[in-house]
Structure 1
Amino acid sequence: MEKVVFALEIEDGWPPLGAEGVWCKKIGEHYQLDNIPFFIQGLAVGDLFSACPDPVNKHIFEFEVLKESGHSVISILNNIDLDLEGFLGSVKALGCSFEQFKQYSLTVIDAPPDIEIDRLNKLIDQYEDLGIDFAFPVWRFE
């Protein structure tokens, strides 16, 4: 397992960081993502991808997904400071996992391909109605 650092493109102050490190397994010359990314667009847990780290700073500027895992990534921005404990407990009960970046009121969810997507969508709808902002940087459900 190794930490792979991705350069991030900041637009209008977001994301709030210029780089994000994620854990990956090295498989031959390629990488397999092992944790949920907060800001990297287009990658989900389990994806196999190719990338060439920059020779100067070792950051990844471009990558290509070679094999999608079927996992999706959902981002939650809780700017209204709503208690998400119930929501996150329900999401976990569905088989999802999550990570939080409390400094930025950000939670990311890993949604495996075999979960009950209708139940997840209902939960998301409930919390959107309460004012929570959701984004779907990787959505692989039909």
Structure 2
Amino acid sequence: MEKVLFALEVEDGWPPVGVEGVWCEKVGENFQLKNVPFFIANIAAEDIFHAIPDPVNDHVFEFEIVKESGHSVIWLMNNIDLDITEFVDIVKALGCSYEEFSQYSLAAIDAPPEVDVDQLNEVIDKFEEKGINFAFPVWRLD
């Protein structure tokens, strides 16, 4: 596995970083994403994508999805410092993976295609009502 660095467009201070490194495996001339991104939109875990890192700084500025994995990405922002242990336990029990970027009160959730979307939506709705913010940069569950 190797880290692939994606250049991020920062606007009004967001995202709080200019580059995100994600773990990938080489698949021929392409890459397969092996973790859930915090700031890279339009790509999910296990997607196979084509990208040519910039020869000067080795950052990816553009990519093309070659094969979608069926995974979805959910971003969570906990600006109210709510205890979300219950949320984390439920999404993990549903088969999702959960990664935290505690410095910015963020989490990234990988929802595989076999997850029970009704149960997932139920827990998201419950915590949204409590004040947690969610974004869905890749949603492939139906």
- For residue 13 of structure 1, report the CA deviation from its aligned partner: 1.1
Gaps of 5+ in 2: none
Q: Which residue of 1 aligns with 2:58?
A: 58
- For residue 102 of structure 1, report the CA deviation from its aligned partner: 0.2
**How much is the aligned-residue C-alpha RMSD, in angstroms?**
0.5
Q: Distance in 2 between matches of 1:141 and 1:86?
A: 22
> Stretches of 4+ moved more than 2 A in 1?
none
Q: Distance in 2 between matches of 1:15 and 1:138?
A: 17
| SS of aligned partner of 2:21 | strand
- For residue 70 of structure 1, report the CA deviation from its aligned partner: 0.2
Q: Structure 1: which amino acid aligns with 2:26?
A: K
The alignment's TM-score, normalised by the length of structure 2, stands at 0.99
| SS of aligned partner of 1:57 | coil
Q: Which residue of 2 aligns with 1:25?
A: 25
Q: How does 1:1-142 map to 2 (within 5 A)?
A: 1-142=1-142
Give CA deviations for 1:51-96 in whole Å, capped at 9, x if unaligned. 0000100000000000000000000000000001110000000000
Give CA deviations for 1:103-129 in whole Å, capped at 9, x if unaligned. 000011000000100000000000000
Identical residues among aligned pairs (%): 65
| SS of aligned partner of 1:114 | coil
Q: Distance in 2 between matches of 1:3 and 1:55?
A: 16
Gaps of 5+ in 1: none
- Paired residue total: 142
Q: Distance in 2 between matches of 1:62 and 1:25?
A: 18
Q: Distance in 2 between matches of 1:81 and 1:23?
A: 29
